[in-house]
Copies of this chain bind each other. A is one copy, B any other.
Amino acid sequence: MALTFEMKERDGLGRLCILRTAHGPVTTPALLPVINPNKMTIPPSQMKQEFGAEMIITNSYIIRRGPELRERALKDGVHKLVEFDGPIMTDSGAFQAYVYGSDKDQRSDSVQILPSEIVEFQRDIGVDIGTILDVITPRDATYEEAKKDVDETLARAKATVGLKGNMALNGTVQGSVYPDLREDCARALGELDIDVHPIGGVVPFLEAYRYGDLARAIIAAKKGLPPSRPVHLFGAGHPHFLSIAVLLGCDLFDSSSYMKYALDDRMMFNDGTRHFGDLDHLGCNCPVCSSHTVEELRKMQKPERLVLLARHNLHVLFGKIRAIRQAIHEERLWEMAERDARAHPALLEVMRVLGSEGEFLERFEQTSRACAFMHTGPESRLRPIVRRYRDRLLKRYSLPKALANYVLPETTKPYSDYCIKHLEHLEKHGVHFVVESYFGPAPLELDLMYPIAQSMSGSISEEERKELFVLWAKLEEANGITFEKWTEAAARSAEKAKGKGLDIDLLRMTAVASMQFGPKAAKALLKGKLEYVKSREGRIRNVIVDGEHVLSLRAHDGMFTLKAAGAKRIASAVKSPQLRVIADKDSAPFVAEGKNLFCKFVVDCDPELRPGDEAVIVDPDDKVLAVGRLLMNREEMRSFKVGVAVKNREHA
C-alpha cells in the first residue's frame, strides 16, 4: 500500500490523522505549499525548515511540458528536481485544461495530454501522490453539463487507476453546485483503488463568497466517500475557511495563494486579506510582522517585499493549521469554526447549512467532550450535540411517575446544587422538576450530564423559544403529562398532597443510563439491589448492583463508564448488534486478553453507537470479550485499514 491513514484524535468530522507515505509521515490537517517548479521563490527546504511543511505540491503538467524539467524529473526523480526529501503531491494539469482548454479544443495553448500519459508520467518521476486528469466544471454549468463532466472524470479514473504502480493516487470529486452529483461522483470514486480525494472546482465558490454552496459540496462528497480516505480541499488555502473545512472533514489543503497574493501585494489575515497599501499597522505577530514596520516594507524594492509578504502569508496559514490541530486536541473545533465564520456574513451562512445537515453530522459526533460547551452565538444551538440531546430526550428518556411535573427557569449550574429546596420537595413530596435549559427541557436528575452542566450558555432567541416550545409539548405528549408552573401555591399543595417521595439517586442513574444506552439496557443494568460509592462531595461514583460493580459515573461529563459486569447485563438484555462491536475470530482471543480492537478486525458494530460511546465487544458468536470505548462510529471502523477502533478498558 502506498499510503496509510490513521486517525489519532477527532472532534466530530474534524480529525487529526497521520498520513504515512513512502517519504515519511504527515500530520493532518496539513497545508501543502504549492511549488512552482520553474520559480521556487521560497524553496521547499525552507518550507520545511521555517514553516514546518511536511508535504508540498507541485504541478506534473508544468514539469512535463518543459523539456528540461521533464528530462531532469525523469532522470533524477521529482524529489531531486525540487530538492525536497518529504512526500510530494502533484496536480495533473486539470486546472490548466480548465483555463486554457483541452486537446480537443485545438487551441495553440490548449492542454495536449492524455489522461493515461499524465498518470504514467507522475508515477515515473516518483511522485508520492499523483492526480488523475479530472474535468473541472465551469461555474455556471447546467446540471447536465456538470453530470457529463462527472461521467468523464469517472471514466478517466477507471481507465487510469490501474497505471498508478507504487504511487498513491488523487481521485478528484467533481459535480459543481449539485450535491447529488458530488455524492454520486464521490461514491463511485470511493469504489476504486484510489488513495486520496481532492474536492475540485471549489475556487469559483470561494471567489464568489458562496460559502454555503461550498459547505454543501464538501458534505455531499463526504457522504459518498469512504471515511478512511483523506480528503483534500483543492485550492482553498484561505485562513478564514480552514477551520470550517476541517470541521466538515477535510484533511489536506494546498496554497498557491501565499505567493499569488504576495505578487499582488496582498497579505492574508485570519479575518480576510488586505492590500499592503491599505495597511498602516501590521496586525499580526508573525516573525515578518513583528520585525518590520509598514514604513520599512513600503520603502523596500518589490522583489524584497514579495518574499517577506509570501513568508507572512505562509506563517498565517501554518499558524492557523497548528491552531486547528490544537482545537481538535481540545475538542473545541466547533467554537473555532463559529468564531471564524464571523469573518464575513456569507461565512455565517455555512453554520446554517451545518444545522440542516445535523442528521449526518450527528453520526460522527462524540459522546461528550473534555471541555465545556461554549456558546458563541445563535448558531451554537445548531451543533449536533444539541440535536442529539433533544432527540434522545424524546426517544430514550421517560419522566418518572411523579405527583406533578414543574418547570423551573434556567439557573446556575449544576442545577441540583442551587435547587436545594426543589430537591427536598422531590425527595419528600414526589414532585418532579424540569429546567428550561439552553439545550431544551433538562430534568433535574440529568443536571450533571454533558452538556447540561458542562456549558457556558447564552441567551435564547424568540425563534428558539418557539422551537423549544414544540419540544416541551412533545415531551408532555410522549409522557402523557402536563407541565405546570412552580409557584408558592404549588409548593404548599405538594406539601399537603403527601405523595410518595422520589429517590433522586435512582432517578439520576435511570435517566443517565437511558440517555446513554437506551431504556432497555438501562433497565437491565440497574435491575437488582442498588448500592452507591459516593465522592466526598456526595456525588455518585460507582454503581453496585446485587453486589457487582456495574457502572462508574465519570466526574467530568456525568456519564457512565461500563464495567464488565454491566457489559454482560447488556449483552443478555439487548439483541446483537445493539450496543456491541463484533470482533472477528482471529482477534477475539487478543481482545479477551485486554488488547485494543483494531479497525481491520471489526466485523460489525451497532450503527447507533458514536465515537466515545461505551460498548460491549463480542466475538462473532456474541460471546462477551471485553468492554471498550469507541474511537470511531460504525462507518469509520469498517472503512479504516489501520488504527484502533475500540479502546479496550476491561476484558470479560
Contacts and interface: CB of A to CB of B under 8 A. Distances in A.
Given A330-B278, A339-B342, A342-B376, A285 B458 contact: no
Interface in A320-341: 320, 322-327, 329-330, 335-336, 338-339
Contact of A345 (B50, B318, B458): B458
A342 B377 contact: yes
A387 to B, nearest CB: 20
Nearest to A327: B283
Interface stretch (A152-160, A191-199, A225-233, A286-294): A286-294
A247 to B, nearest CB: 15
Given A345-B375, A375-B345, A289 B322 contact: yes
A284 B285 contact: yes
A285 B283 contact: no
Contacts of A330: 278
Contacts of A320: 283, 285
Contacts of A318: 285, 290
Interface in A295-352: 315-316, 318-320, 322-327, 329-330, 335-336, 338-339, 342-346, 348
Contacts of A51: 290
A325 to B, nearest CB: 4
Contacts of A50: 290
A437 B250 CA distance: 36
Nearest to A463: B462
B326 A279 contact: yes
Given A325-B280, A339-B342, A342-B377, A461 B458 contact: no
Contacts of A285: 284-287, 315-316, 318-320
Contacts of A326: 279-283
Nearest to A465: B462
A374 B344 CA distance: 7
A456 interface: yes
A318 to B, nearest CB: 7
A578 interface: no
A461 B378 contact: yes
Contact of A322 (B284, B327, B336, B466): B284
A281 B458 contact: no
A411 to B, nearest CB: 16
Nearest to A279: B326
Interface in A375-418: 375-378
Interface string A88-118: 0000000000000000000000000000000
A462 B324 CA distance: 34
Interface string A231-269: 000000000000000000000000000000000000001
Contacts of A462: 461-463, 466
Nearest to A209: B456
A438 to B, nearest CB: 10
Contacts of A342: 335, 338-339, 342, 376-377
A271 interface: yes
A281 B345 contact: no
Interface in A46-101: 50-52
A27 to B, nearest CB: 9
A457 interface: yes
A460 to B, nearest CB: 10
Given A282-B326, A284-B285, 12 more contacts: A52-B293, A271-B336, A281-B322, A283-B319, A286-B287, A287-B290, A289-B319, A339-B342, A345-B376, A348-B376, A377-B377, A461-B461
Top 6 closest pairs, chain A to chain B, by CB: A283-B323, A285-B319, A462-B462, A281-B325, A281-B326, A283-B326
